[in-house]
Structure 1
Amino acid sequence: MEERQLKKERNPHLLDDRVPFHRRISYALTDTGGNLLYCIISSYLLYFYTDVFGLSVGVAGTLLLIARLVDAVDAPIWGMIIDRTKSKYGQSRPYFLWMSIPFAVFTILTFVTPNLDGNTKIAYAATTYILAGICYTGIATPITSILPNLSSSPNERVVLNSFRMVGGNVGNFLAVTFTLPLAALLGNGNDQKGFPLAVAVFAVVAVVMFLLAFVNLREINTERIKPVSIRHSVKAVKGNWPWIILIIANLIFWVGLTIRTSTIVYYFEYNLEKKELVPFINGISIIQVLGMAAIPFIVKVMNKYSTMILGFVLAACGQIIMYFADASLSILITGWIIGCIGSGIACSMPFAMLSDSVDYGEWKTGVRASGFLTAIGSAFCIKAGAGLGGFLPTQVMSWFGYVANTTQTSSSLLGIQLSFIWLPAIVFILGIIPMLFYAKYEKNERNIQIDLAKRI
């Protein structure tokens, strides 16, 4: 036993650090459950607010921005809470049990349309949206923070993260593909009735998935888990440049992705006059699985930072191809597929690389603040990015004269096109810039792992 431990300390990449297949699947279920609900919010909440709930596009966009930015503040708080958690279930795992039902309940309430008017109606929307977001952070943060404690091997973490991302993509596929048809079916054409019922169906499934993950997952590295004070959590950020780079890149990515997903329904309804194709086009996004599943192989050839750059490039190219599609549905679908593969890659990489930044922070400062660092790197970026990504297109559309449920002018159609096609393309291109500075940190990861193993 002592000889095996000594070998592992000398080489933390040994195969005995691999996670069993059933636990890889269980880890994937966490993101499937999370995306079943969160992707309904990110894809359809703006449309729900303007065309179902009855808010103007300007009010809806401002509400999304303010609520998301206020809500994003809870990400580091949740991170510090997790860093101070030490229970018989582990550090991150118990939150799958504790937060699954509150997350489900408040997500359902977000899509309820009460008989309210004026500021009271806006207040209800903001309150339910923020509470759903707080609960989402409480369950999304441990999904990422648990990864460094599932395996010590960077290679195994990439594999685990690929399982997670494939699972998340399945959740996204189900949410964006079946929400509108299910809402229409359960509401008999009444979206105010159908939306909360459809969300409730997904919520039940999500809770079951979180509970299965709670039962099956196990955390290691428990000997390195110590309660971390607020001061020490902040200390783990100092000089952690790989973490800072990932924060910037991941935030940029979620801005671009949210712009794309939140405006597709407007583009197909008004510019193409084919709203009925939205579930089909969104369903094609399952193609992201190819990019996600290929990541462990791409990383071996290209390394991690260049793999993420590849994702940004493909995502931007897909947007540009859709612009040249004009009335050709086949070209538009081709661009959508390329963009989805790219966004699948760019979405996946930061979650795997954040684990390495946790190791870097521990190596540099002696503080292992996995909850704090991954909370800001994941939940904060998703929420702040979603807020900005939901706000920017509403301002463009409002500037060009968009009015819900009416025949759009040529100016408002141009605003919708700019929002759906060009805004995401520009943002994805900007995401490449910070990743150009990551290379030197990735080259040192193996030495950091060996050094940390010697400190135990």
Structure 2
Amino acid sequence: MDNHINAQDNYITGKLPWRERLSYGASDFACSFTFSLIGTYLMYFYTDVFGISAAAVGTLMLVARVIDALDGPFWGIMIDHTHTKWGRSRPFLLWFNAPFTIFTILCFTTPNLPMTWKIVWAYVTYIGIDVLYSAVNIPLTSILPSMTADPDERVVLSTIRSLFSNFGGTLISVIALPLVGLFGGANNPRRGFFWLAVLAALVFFVIYLFVFANLRERVQTRQSQKPLPIKTSLKALKRNWPWLIVIGLNFVYWLGMQTKGQVTIYFFKYNLQEPGLVSLALFFNAVGLVSVFLTPYVVTKIGKKRTLLGGLLISIVGQLILGLGAWTLSTVTVILGTIVGNFGNGFVGALIAVLLADAVDYGEWKNNVRAEGIVTSASSFTAKFGMGLGGAITGLLLSIGHYVPNKTQTAASLFSIEANYVWVPLLALVLSFILILFYQLTPNKERIMRQELNAKHQKEAAEDAAFSN
């Protein structure tokens, strides 16, 4: 028994076993495999398959995401209030696995209803899937600071998670339309999308059972071993400047990525008139795997802040190249911009979760409150609110441009698609870059924080051991 405890203690400040590392990565493969299907294709499914107007879909996405964004703090508070033999975050991976699986299928189910009831169905299923996604995804971020206190191991875990996430999102994006054709034939995309959703949901369900079985929460403090009152949890946010910067980044960055991702199929279908290249363009999301893989090495050389700024700058350059391709209607230039932009995005995606884990430590360091749930869930709140606003912007611009599904588009309609695909994301990336310039958790300050927290935890552990004896 004592040997087991010692081994667990070693993992707190050292490398975790590969089984656990890969399980943590597999969790976001499952999330991306299902939720990228929704983020990339659901708007197109609503407008061109289910028959709902772009304006109605845009309103739906804003309302749904605002409602859903409010549930982020709720799940964070629930995590901080949870105290089980499995830990705080880990139980949610089991409890909400099946509900999320069911709603994934319902989102792409098309009952034969009047238009008003179609919209009602879309609201219920879309809000449901968003709320349940928070229940299964927020714990992945909140569990990271509890898995290990080692900053290098956190970067490794976040890198592995981002690699799997990128691969899962790219895979479903590339195979989605071919599978829709396979399952539904040339004339029945409704059936095709339904069975694609069934496949994605089953993949998620099986992987999450595996993830729950293998993850462990090792970093235990006095506070983490008992439920935290809401008032106490909120103290972790007081003067937590790293957290404020990260949630601002999450809002702006994901707003831009949402507008771009959900009109990819529109841009290639109508602007470039190359619908067959959608899967190829989405395949190049895999370029981000390279930068994600390089992230731990780059961080050791130049630090987290400079790595993140470099990634955003590369993404901005890629978006400018994309704009040139949209202006000249050059497919080659568009693909080049896509490749460059995705390379930069890989660094950004790999580091956001790490910065959030650092914000958990910062909240404990400055305010003596360790609240993984509320700190990480607030980031989900802002990211989802940004994505909701991005969805509304897309619907609004398509409506202003008088977009009509499956028709030859007007110049105004084509520009509205281009604005969503190129210019809104570009603005979001520039604002994200400016935000990170103000990030002030320097390597030296972080080192001092780690040393003081480790000393505090060791003192608490010694006192508790003495008391129990």
Q: Same fold (TM over 0.5)?
A: yes
One-letter code aligned to 1:53: F
Q: Does the 8 Å CA contact 1:46/1:262 hold for their aligned counterparts?
A: yes
**1:322 aligns to 2:329 (yes or no):** no
CA shift at 1:221, angstroms? 1.4
CA shift at 1:255, angstroms? 0.6
Q: Which residue of 1 aligns with 2:452?
A: 451
For residues 190 and 439 of structure 2, the distance between their equivalents in structure 1, rounded to whole angstroms, comes to: 47
- 1:344-423 matches, within 5 Å, as 344-377=346-379, 379-423=380-424
- 1:47-446 matches, within 5 Å, as 47-189=44-186, 190-224=188-222, 225=224, 226-325=226-325, 326-377=328-379, 379-446=380-447
TM-score (norm. length: structure 2): 0.92
One-letter code aligned to 2:215: L
For residues 159 and 440 of structure 1, the distance between their equivalents in structure 2, rounded to whole angstroms, comes to: 19
CA shift at 1:315, angstroms? 1.6
CA distances 1:134-183 after superposition (whole Å, capped 9, x unpaired) = 11000001100010011101111011000001011111012211112111
For residues 372 and 15 of structure 1, the distance between their equivalents in structure 2, rounded to whole angstroms, comes to: 22
One-letter code aligned to 2:217: E
For residues 123 and 307 of structure 1, the distance between their equivalents in structure 2, rounded to whole angstroms, comes to: 44
For residues 39 and 427 of structure 1, the distance between their equivalents in structure 2, rounded to whole angstroms, comes to: 20
Secondary structure of the structure 1 residue equivalent to 2:273? coil
For residues 301 and 63 of structure 1, the distance between their equivalents in structure 2, rounded to whole angstroms, comes to: 45
Q: Does the 8 Å CA contact 1:157/1:352 hold for their aligned counterparts?
A: yes
Q: Does the 8 Å CA contact 1:257/1:343 hold for their aligned counterparts?
A: no
CA shift at 1:401, angstroms? 2.0
Secondary structure of the structure 2 residue equivalent to 1:339? helix
One-letter code aligned to 1:69: V
Q: Does the 8 Å CA contact 1:37/1:104 hold for their aligned counterparts?
A: no
CA distances 1:390-434 after superposition (whole Å, capped 9, x unpaired) = 111221222122111211012211221122111111111111111
One-letter code aligned to 2:23: S
For residues 87 and 421 of structure 2, the distance between their equivalents in structure 1, rounded to whole angstroms, comes to: 43
For residues 283 and 445 of structure 2, the distance between their equivalents in structure 1, rounded to whole angstroms, comes to: 40
One-letter code aligned to 1:203: A
Secondary structure of the structure 1 residue equivalent to 2:381? helix
Q: Which residue of 2 aligns with 1:41?
A: 38
For residues 279 and 214 of structure 1, the distance between their equivalents in structure 2, rounded to whole angstroms, comes to: 32
CA distances 1:225-250 after superposition (whole Å, capped 9, x unpaired) = 13111111211111111101100011
Q: Does the 8 Å CA contact 2:12/2:149 hold for their aligned counterparts?
A: no
CA shift at 1:266, angstroms? 0.7
Aligned residues: 449
CA shift at 1:108, angstroms? 1.0
For residues 132 and 443 of structure 2, the distance between their equivalents in structure 1, rounded to whole angstroms, comes to: 33
Q: Does the 8 Å CA contact 1:84/1:227 hold for their aligned counterparts?
A: yes
Q: Does the 8 Å CA contact 2:94/2:212 hold for their aligned counterparts?
A: yes
CA distances 1:60-101 after superposition (whole Å, capped 9, x unpaired) = 111101101111100110011011111111211122111111
For residues 318 and 48 of structure 1, the distance between their equivalents in structure 2, rounded to whole angstroms, comes to: 28
Q: Does the 8 Å CA contact 2:180/2:193 hold for their aligned counterparts?
A: yes
Post-superposition, which runs of at least 4 consecutive aligned residues in structure 1 deviate over 4 A? none
Change (3 A) 1:361 1:15: closer
CA shift at 1:302, angstroms? 1.9
Q: Does the 8 Å CA contact 1:253/1:347 hold for their aligned counterparts?
A: no
For residues 330 and 71 of structure 1, the distance between their equivalents in structure 2, rounded to whole angstroms, comes to: 38
CA shift at 1:223, angstroms? 3.6
Range moving further from structure 2, 163-172 or 173-182:
173-182
Range moving further from structure 2, 217-226 or 246-255:
217-226
Q: Does the 8 Å CA contact 2:270/2:414 hold for their aligned counterparts?
A: yes
Range moving further from structure 2, 61-70 or 117-126:
117-126
Q: Does the 8 Å CA contact 1:96/1:214 hold for their aligned counterparts?
A: yes
TM-score (norm. length: structure 1): 0.95
For residues 269 and 313 of structure 1, the distance between their equivalents in structure 2, rounded to whole angstroms, comes to: 29
Q: Does the 8 Å CA contact 2:13/2:148 hold for their aligned counterparts?
A: no
Q: Does the 8 Å CA contact 2:272/2:331 hold for their aligned counterparts?
A: no
Q: Which residue of 1 aligns with 2:16?
A: 19
For residues 381 and 107 of structure 1, the distance between their equivalents in structure 2, rounded to whole angstroms, comes to: 22
Secondary structure of the structure 2 residue equivalent to 1:97? helix
Q: Identify unmatched segments of 5+ residues in structure 2.
A: 458-469
Q: Does the 8 Å CA contact 2:13/2:150 hold for their aligned counterparts?
A: no
CA shift at 1:15, angstroms? 9.1
Secondary structure of the structure 2 residue equivalent to 1:227? coil
Q: Does the 8 Å CA contact 2:256/2:429 hold for their aligned counterparts?
A: yes
Q: Does the 8 Å CA contact 2:174/2:280 hold for their aligned counterparts?
A: yes
CA shift at 1:222, angstroms? 2.5
Q: Does the 8 Å CA contact 1:32/1:171 hold for their aligned counterparts?
A: yes
Change (3 A) 1:442 1:76: farther
Q: Identify unmatched segments of 5+ residues in structure 1.
A: none
CA shift at 1:347, angstroms? 2.0
One-letter code aligned to 1:306: R
One-letter code aligned to 1:370: E
Q: Does the 8 Å CA contact 1:179/1:199 hold for their aligned counterparts?
A: no
Secondary structure of the structure 1 residue equivalent to 2:25? helix
For residues 453 and 260 of structure 1, the distance between their equivalents in structure 2, rounded to whole angstroms, comes to: 42
Range moving further from structure 2, 74-83 or 223-232:
223-232
One-letter code aligned to 2:192: G
For residues 80 and 342 of structure 1, the distance between their equivalents in structure 2, rounded to whole angstroms, comes to: 33
